[in-house]
Structure 1
Amino acid sequence: MSDIDLTDTTPDDVREEGVVDEVPPDQLAFDVGDFPGGLRGAVEAVLMVVDEPVTELALASALEVPVPDVETALAELEEGYAAQQRGFCLRNVGGGWRVYSRPEYAPVVSKFLLDGQQARLTQASLETLAVIAYRQPVSRSRVAAVRGVNVDGVIRTLLTRGLIEEVGTDEESTANLYGTTATFLERLGLQSLDDLPALAPYLPEVDVLDEIAESGRS
């Protein structure tokens, strides 16, 4: 798999390798008023790590504050980004909030992504791609369970490169499931997934991954 002619040095790939698997319980207790940026800063921090729109209720629950306070913070952030002409904006899409790059910068973003497709993938990307290839369809949490680190950044990179794609949702957890694409097979010179080397027996079984993922959330 290391023969893929791509290079990737994206911050997401680098950052995800340094993610701490577990945070001590005593560090999970907080008061948003103690943070330098207060509630707005806390809301902003959460929005920077979500990969799909999040509701006011979900934010309020996570931050342990009233929903109206979260609504006010979101409105202030949205107005602030617009007034400062930032390269990103806050949008309410489908009943949830998420940070997006501003439409005006679409040419810049597109050029960056297209240029990035000529880069070589990092070891983190290759390992994540291998897990998806052998365990597809597989959810993000199961991939993270195998690798032992957060894989959000790498998943985004692989999606951008067109090497993986969403192939459905898990019936129980409703999590997105990922699989490899025709581009993946083409880049590796394979006719089908049956041509992959026999590495699957060395990966944990699905039931084991479920137990690992569940323990990581407890």
Structure 2
Amino acid sequence: MNSENASSSRPEYVDFTVDDFPGGLNACVEAILMVADQPQQAEDLARVLAVDEDAVEGALETLRESYEAEHRGFELRHTARGWQFANRLEFEPVVSAFVTDGQTARLSQAALEALAIVAYKQPVTRAQIAAIRGVNSDGVVRSLTVRGLVREEGTDPDSRAALLVTSGLFLEKMGLESLDQLPSLAPFMPSPESALREAQSEE
């Protein structure tokens, strides 16, 4: 993809160039990967940023090397699915200590909502959780993942987003042997008649 093709294929809602921002291309790539809920291919990053794919590949390699040289606690990892940030394996004892300590802390209301959505809708993507809750849920999902209550399992065939499911630890904490033992939501759902009355009262 050359720069001319990149510009012509840029989404209509993108009205900037990477040179508009401090740090240029490297910083733009870093910002996207920081909020992405799934690995990103260099080709996709190049399209959004309207730059050459080779330039994006170079930026990714530069970022990865800089993180390694600075001995960061995370790394920029490349897999078949794309590029994403991940904890460095040598820091596993630190992360494990944090997760273990976190088990004693109570979940926030937002985390409980997200956990309930995963439990009853699984497998589900982060975007689907956000759509149901009506707010960005990346933070609470990350918290649930760190606590070991939620894990990734496969990808959505359409969006390639990671699919989230509950873990064995979730069942253990809930005192369940399987998801089939989750209580039914029926008692908490309005009857068709009451739902109709409520809808009519709002008209």
Partners of 2:133 and 2:123 in 1: how far apart? 16
CA contact under 8 A between 1:32 and 1:39: conserved in structure 2?
Answer: yes
**Following the alignment from structure 1 to structure 2, what is the Cα–Cα distance between the partners of residues 200 and 166?**
28
Q: Which has the larger radius of gyration?
A: 2
1:101 corresponds to: 87
Do 1:190 and 1:196's aligned partners in 2 also have CA atoms closer than 8 Å? no
Residue in 2 that maps onto 1:158:
144
Corresponding position: 1:149 with 2:135: yes
Q: Does 1:40 align with 2:26?
A: yes
Rounded to whole Å, the distance in 2 between the matches of 1:42 and 1:33 is 9
Return the alpha-carbon distance in structure 2 between the equivalents of residues 137 and 34 of structure 1.
39
1:179 deviation in Å?
A: 3.8
Q: Confirm whether residue 113 of structure 1 aligns to residue 87 of structure 2.
A: no
Change (3 A) 1:169 1:105: closer
2:71 to 81, 85, 89: 85
**Residue in structure 1 matched with residue 199 of structure 2 by the alignment:** none
- Work out the CA distance in 1 between the residues paired with 2:123 and 2:82: 26
Counterpart of 1:135 in structure 2 is: 121
- C-alpha distance in 1 between matches for 2:155 and 2:89: 29
Aligned residues: 178
| CA-CA distance at 1:165 after TM superposition | 3.9
Unaligned 5+ runs, structure 2:
1-11, 191-203
Aligned residue number for residue 189 of structure 2: 201
Higher relative contact order (CA 8 A, sep 6+): 1
Alignment equivalent of 1:50, drawn from 25, 31, 36: 36
- What do residues 144-191 of structure 1 show as CA deviations (whole Å, max 9, x unaligned)? 111011122222322333333446554554544434345434434457
Q: Is the 8 A contact 1:53 1:94 kept in 2?
A: no
Equivalent residue, structure 2, for 1:15: none
SS of residue matched to 1:120:
coil
CA distance in 2, matches of 1:29, 1:74: 23
SS in 1 for 2:189: helix
Q: Provide the rounded CA distance (Å) in 2 between the counterparts of 1:55 and 1:41.
A: 16
Secondary structure of 1:138's counterpart equals coil
Using the size of structure 1 for normalisation, the TM-score is 0.68
Matching residue of 1:65: 51
Residues 103 and 64 (structure 1 numbering): CA distance in 2 closer, same or farther, change over 3 Å?
Answer: same
RMSD: 2.9
**Please, which moves more after superposition, 100-109 or 190-199?**
190-199
Alignment partners' CA distance in 1, 2:130 and 2:188: 16
The question of whether the paired residues in 1 share the 8 Å contact of 2:37 and 2:161 is answered with no
> 1:41 Cα shift?
0.3
TM-score in terms of structure 2 length: 0.72
Q: Which runs of 5+ in 1 are unaligned?
A: 1-25, 203-218
